[in-house]
Amino acid sequence: MAATAALDKKATDVVVFEVGGLTTVADYFLICSAESQRQVRAIRDHIEDKLSKNGFHLFSSEGEGTGRWILMDYSDLVVHIFKDDVRLFYALERLWGDAPRLNLDAAGPLGPPEPAQRPKAAIRRKKAARE
């Protein structure tokens, strides 16, 4: 769902990594590029709109001010929307190269997993309840 929303707004080089086995931050990273700051913001707005209409909560978002790299945290899914040159500079694909890449054609519309399939979200809820 998030990848499809990014592609709706002409995002390029859309990649999804399954990072759950490598970090506790999220289960998936979606990384995509845009040619301009305006397009970065349009992709962000469209992803947020599509996911919120389907019941997914955006916990935090960073980078809207500059529009060069926007990060959207959906707990189990973290979306990185880069302006082309910024993506090349930070090279997150190299940092997460050990993580399996999902085949977007085979996966179909991608969104955060259903609540019953959210291991990290369940752990976070348990931690919050104890505090």
CA dihedral 107, 109, 112, 118 (to 10 degrees): -40
**CATH code of the domain in which 99 resides:** 3.30.460.10
- For residue 116, the enclosing domain spans 2-130
pLDDT tens digits along 83-129:
999 999 999 989 898 899 987 765 444 454 444 444 555 445 444 44
Q: Rounded to whole angstroms, how far apart are CA atoms 95 and 78?
A: 15
- Considering its fold, how many domains does the chain have in total? 1
pLDDT tens digits along 31-80:
999 999 999 999 999 999 999 999 899 999 999 888 899 999 998 999 99
Q: Rounded to whole angstroms, how far apart are CA atoms 56 and 73?
A: 11
